[in-house]
Chains A and B, each alone.
Chain A
Amino acid sequence: MTKRERNWLLLLPGGAWFLIMLVLPLTVVFIFSFGERGDAGGYVPAFTLEQYANLPARLTAFENTMILAPIGTLISMLIAYPLAYQLAVNTSRKWKTVLLVLVIVPFWTSILIRSYAWIYILGGQGIPNLLEMLGIEGVRLIYTPFAVLIGIIYGYLPLMVFPIYVSLDRLDKRLLEASSDLGAKPFATFMQVTLPLSVPGIATGCMLVFILLMGEFLIPALLGGGKVFFVGNALVDLFLQSRNWAYGSAVAVTLIVIMLVTVTVYMRLISRLNTQRDDVSIM
């Protein structure tokens, strides 16, 4: 066997998986999106742009997704960074492992069950009930965009913490000493050394969380109570309930295109930030 043949062989399982599980369904969805709905639902072959013309009917779902996903990502990042920083920089070896495990603990139960807990906390018997006892009446939390945002941040925080933690933990502590030696006060060192060198971790975390959020449907369904719809919910609805496969496919294709464009632009920005930083004294 030549080296070339061996390389192909090694690529085979992954390649086959990629082809069957990703390319094939995507192609099918793409083709379906130009079709029509059958009388009993499903798909009837056709070539029409009607489904795409109908997209505005689901505009709210797109709006919710495009607003809440970036906001959720941003807030997760703002919460995760100090957490990851404390873990990586100010925690002793012994405690690091314990605290890191605590960050993953939520993953030991399903997001479904955890979201139910939030339904209770945000629902009538939870926080609003407490507020009422304090004399603040009529606060409604559950089934609002705010509830969805809480759920999103809660669910995806660990995914944000880890990449940032790794980038901060790997940071050579002598660079911080060098910065201090050269006259930078602690905050200046953070801005000029720590933060720039943790950009890759931030970028990875944001990308991961953002992509997953764009496809999220469980949290909006449970905590949004059918009022705060994401594109993911629209897809569940179109494919499983109204069985309008053609229209569902059009929505799916649109979502994929939006994601591709955002991610590409985002990657461009990040790589530019990493290579072209001509003056780092941000302050």
Chain B
Amino acid sequence: MNVSPAPAGLSSDRFREETAPVAELRAVTKRFGDVTAAKNLNLTIDRGEFLSFLGPSGCGKTTALRMLAGFEQPTEGDVLIDGGIVNDSPPFCRPVNMVFQSYALFPHLTVEQNISYGLKQRRPRMDRSEISRRVARALDTVRLAGFENRKTFEMSGGQQQRVALARAIVNEPKLLLLDEPLAALDRKLRKEMQIELQDLQRQLGITFVLVTHDQEEALSLSDRICVMRAGEVVQMGTPRDLYDDPKTKYVADFVGTSNFFEGTVLSVKEDMAQVELADGSRFEGRASDSFRETETVCLSIRPEQIRLTGKAEDGAIEVVVQNRIFLGEHTEYLVRHSSLGNIIVLAPRQAELAGTAFNQGDRAWLNLSREAMLVLRQD
């Protein structure tokens, strides 16, 4: 690796630590026997960011996280922390802490002893008074002051979750790894904890890496999301990037909801592509990639980008309303087109208030604007 010389006054190690990304995976592959859990992962984790691994169960998210923590060694490739290769360094040597999916709190220790565990392992030993000061601060941070002497199994799921968080953050790790930390909580508590996690990350400035299969969670919490599929990274970007510019049907489907229509490319002009669907109808859409003519692709449009109207406008397609679900700010319509099949449309409340509400069985027209249509690789 070619590193520029360190400026005067900084040792080269210090310099490397402060300029390198906090962690990096370089061409990392992990195999368990015949199973390839991670395939050629390449990614950098920047200092202070909130990164999520998103993907369905079994796609290798936990494996990626465990390689960062040091519980698994890559079969091929390198894991770097602070610019140094740590492939073979065991978990207890890494400046990384993990919040386990099932919390893994020590059942024989009190809340306070659980939280102070990491600090007590430090050599040279840390002052007792310093330990209790930091533990108290961590307890405050997760709003558990007063619970010091509780046994962890006497606590609720949400409280245990916070103990697990406090036990990790008290060590001030360079990287905090969270493996589906909220999966075991009920919906309401999960929402609360999501907000707390985000606050915590901003307040502490620690780099967070979260594993989740919940796209909503990833979208609302992360600075960047790494979408995975069968051990591979399919796309990486900010939540907005992934939502607005998915590169494949898989990402568009996994991140948010979308309507898909299969077709073949007729022509490509600049970044717009003409697509012919099975029924012969033609649409234009933004090409997410470079496509060849006659290539099989997928047209995608988000439900909230479709406008539902009561009269035939130019280019609109006719549908019949199948179902209507009131969602508060939005109304979700399920409509049926004679050859395109079912389409989901999300209409804002204002539209209804302005008088364009539809009932089951009504005829209506959909405006599929070319700006909102995305042409995606079928994969």
Contact = CB atoms under 8 A, between A and B. Distances in A.
Interface of A: 172, 174-175, 177-185, 188, 192-193, 196-197, 274, 277, 279-281
Nearest to A174: B104
A181 to B, nearest CB: 5
Nearest first, the 8 closest Cβ-Cβ pairs linking A and B are: A183-B121, A182-B118, A174-B104, A178-B104, A180-B91, A184-B121, A181-B91, A180-B92
Interface of B: 69-71, 90-92, 96-98, 100, 102, 104-109, 113, 117-118, 120-122, 167, 171
B174 to A, nearest CB: 13
B104 A175 contact: yes
A182 B121 contact: yes
B95 to A, nearest CB: 9
A185 B171 CA distance: 16
21 contacts: A172-B104, A174-B100, A174-B102, A175-B107, A177-B91, A177-B100, A179-B106, A180-B70, A180-B92, A181-B98, A182-B97, A182-B118, A183-B92, A183-B171, A184-B117, A185-B121, A193-B106, A197-B107, A277-B108, A280-B113, A281-B120
Nearest to A172: B104
Contacts of B108: 196-197, 274, 277, 280
Nearest to B151: A275
A181 B69 contact: yes
B171 A182 contact: yes
Given A182-B97, A280-B113, A281-B120, A177 B106 contact: no
A122 B25 CA distance: 63
Contacts of B69: 181
Contacts of B121: 182-185, 188
B115 to A, nearest CB: 10
B106 A184 contact: no
Contacts of B109: 277, 280
Contacts of B171: 182-183
Which of B98, B104, B167, B171 has most chain A Cβ within 10 Å?
A: B104
B97 A181 contact: yes
Contacts of B122: 183
Given A197-B107, A277-B108, A180 B90 contact: yes
Contacts of A179: 106, 117
A283 to B, nearest CB: 10
B92 A177 contact: no
A280 B108 CA distance: 9
Contacts of B96: 181
A196 B107 CA distance: 10
B113 A182 contact: no
A178 B100 CA distance: 8
Given A178-B104, A178-B105, A181-B96, 14 more contacts: A175-B107, A178-B106, A179-B106, A180-B90, A181-B97, A182-B117, A182-B118, A183-B118, A183-B121, A185-B121, A193-B106, A277-B108, A280-B108, A280-B109
Nearest to A175: B104
Contacts of B71: 177, 180-181
A185 B121 CA distance: 8
A114 B19 CA distance: 71
Contacts of B100: 174, 177-178
A273 to B, nearest CB: 10
A280 B120 CA distance: 10
A196 B104 CA distance: 16
A183 B98 CA distance: 11
Contacts of A177: 71, 91, 100, 104
A182 B98 CA distance: 8
Contacts of B105: 178
Contacts of A274: 108
B106 A185 contact: no
A280 B70 CA distance: 25
A259 B106 CA distance: 34
Contacts of A185: 92, 121
A6 B70 CA distance: 57
B79 to A, nearest CB: 15
Contacts of B104: 172, 174-175, 177-178
B106 A181 contact: no
B107 to A, nearest CB: 7
Contacts of A181: 69-71, 91-92, 96-98
Contacts of B102: 174
A235 B70 CA distance: 61
